Amino acid sequence: MEKMSSQRLHQEYVRLTHSSGLQMYLCPMEGFSTAYAMLGTPYGSINTCFKTDKDSGFLRVPGGIAHFLEHKLFENEDCDAFARYAKTGASANAYTSFDRTCYLYECSENFSESLEILLDFVTHPYFTEATVNKEQGIIGQEIRMYDDSPDWRVQFNLLGALYHVNPVRLDIAGTVESISEITADLLYRCYNTFYNLHNMALTVAGNFTVGEVLAVADRVLGESGKVTIENFRENEPDSVKERYVEQKLAVATPMFNIGFKGRARSRKENVLNSILDEMLVEVIAGDASPLYRRLYDQSLINQTFYGESMAGEDYLCTMYCGESKDPKRVYEEICAEAARIAEEGIDPEMFEVAKATIYGRYVSAFNTVEGVAGLLITGAFSDIPMYDLVDAAANATLPLLQERLREDFDAARSALSVILPAGKKAEEDE
């Protein structure tokens, strides 16, 4: 058991490896009435081709299988996990992202009982061809709903423009065609590969004790043999695939996503660099920037406008999103402003504003049990101690940001995705 502490935040958590192989990151928080637990695996939509040390070759699986597996794990032969949680009063959920799947719950009572449900249902899969066929219909409807969602399509159209072959460009839920190829045997194969306890992490924050967690884990979890996983990735070109992509859907005002394709390194470096890129989002077009005020005053953007940076294994990109009567003009203005600042240098006052904004965002996450549990899981899967995330924001320097700006905010490695109102004539691509 290792104790991790932060003088900056006056907080600590413990990190330990359970006898089952499960990594645990536990942060009891005084004064909180609720507890938040997450059990996750670094397995998401981008893990489409892999092998273990016991396999002779790589296995390529259908798109969307990680998300499909997340849905199916809540069911067993007798009942589903949500019915069990209803008896403890916990609020449960799960999500699949590009590079992780997490199962979670929050509770104000019956913590140990709810934790036992979490550890039990995630470690006892039950798949049959009949239940898989049923789920294919359910998730197929979900995919069709996403296909008609402007917010969803504008983002994945952008990722498809930025990336040539990286699976981050593909819909997390897959397609109706890809999920039709999923079988019970394939689900078990993916489960046995990525849901090995040595590959997973449990994070808990809030009102609980370390002893409670260990008592439940000792009762529920058995030892599992370690599995070494190797993911296959095609080499992603440095360039973007397309500079502009559009689609027509039922929207009143054109929607846009503007993306800058970062130069991906290790998952750890990508996550740390994304914190700096969040500051650059503020410097270039944050709501305290001159460009934001100019675009807003000209009615080129509205209150839906925001920017974000996303990072994980093999990918790093920064995006600006919103609505505009002239998305191409917004794109041109943002690219021009990034180039101008790269040439003239970041204004020191704007740097301090951006740094304080992002630092404050990370510090505020430590005021909620959900925020702490989420940062713990991010750190666990990125090999970054949780407090190093906030330290990365606190220790940012102007020269470091200037270097990041020149490296990853190049207009030549950017793209624009637009959703036009159905029936509106598309502007000629310039």
The DSSP secondary-structure symbol of 55 reads -
- What CATH number matches the domain at 244-421, 3.40.30.10, 3.40.50.720, 3.30.830.10, 3.30.9.10? 3.30.830.10
CA distance 100 to 417: 25
CA distance 15 to 116: 20
Q: Where are the domains of the chain?
A: 2-231, 244-421
CA distance 114 to 103: 12
CA distance 82 to 93: 9
Sequence-distant (6+) residues with CB within 8 A of 364 are 371
Q: Please state the φ and ψ torsions of residue 242, each to the nearest 5 degrees.
A: -140, 150
Among 258, 272, 275, 246, CA closest to 357: 275
Among 39, 16, 46, 231, CA closest to 117: 39
Sequence-distant (6+) residues with CB within 8 A of 264 are 236, 270, 314, 315, 316
Q: Could you give the strand order of the β-sheet that contains 23-28, starting from the edge strand earlier in sequence? A: 2-6, 11-17, 23-28, 201-206, 35-41, 101-107, 91-96
> Which pLDDT belongs to residue 425?
57
Catalytic site includes residue 246 = no
Domains 2-231 and 244-421 share a fold: yes
Q: Dump strand ranges (E) for 241-353.
A: 244-249, 255-261, 306-312, 315-323
- Confirm whether pTM is higher than 0.85: yes
Q: What is the CA radius of gyration of the chain?
A: 23
CA distance 100 to 41: 6
Residue type at 303 in one-letter notation: Q
> Which pLDDT belongs to residue 79?
77
Residue type at 268 in one-letter notation: K
Residue 306, CB-side half-sphere exposure with 13 Å CA sphere: 4
DSSP structure string for 146-204: HHT-HHHHHHHHHHHHH-SS-GGGS-TT--HHHHTT--HHHHHHHHHHH--GGG-EEEE
What is the CA 316 to chain-centroid distance, rounded? 11
- What CATH number matches the domain at 2-231, 3.30.830.10, 3.90.180.10, 3.40.50.300, 3.40.50.1980? 3.30.830.10
Q: Please state the φ and ψ torsions of residue 232, each to the nearest 5 degrees.
A: -95, 135
Among 259, 298, 279, CA closest to 393: 279
List, for the chain, all residue ranges whose pLDDT scores fall below the cut of 70: 424-430
Sequence-distant (6+) residues with CB within 8 A of 272 are 384, 388, 389, 392
Among 146, 148, 145, CA closest to 251: 148
**Quick check: 421 and 248 in contact, CB under 8 A?**
yes
Q: How many angstroms separate the Cα of 132 from the Cα of each of 4, 94, 129, 245?
A: 43, 19, 5, 35
Catalytic member of 2, 12, 30, 70: 70
Q: pLDDT, tens digit, for every residue of 344-361?
A: 999 999 999 999 999 999
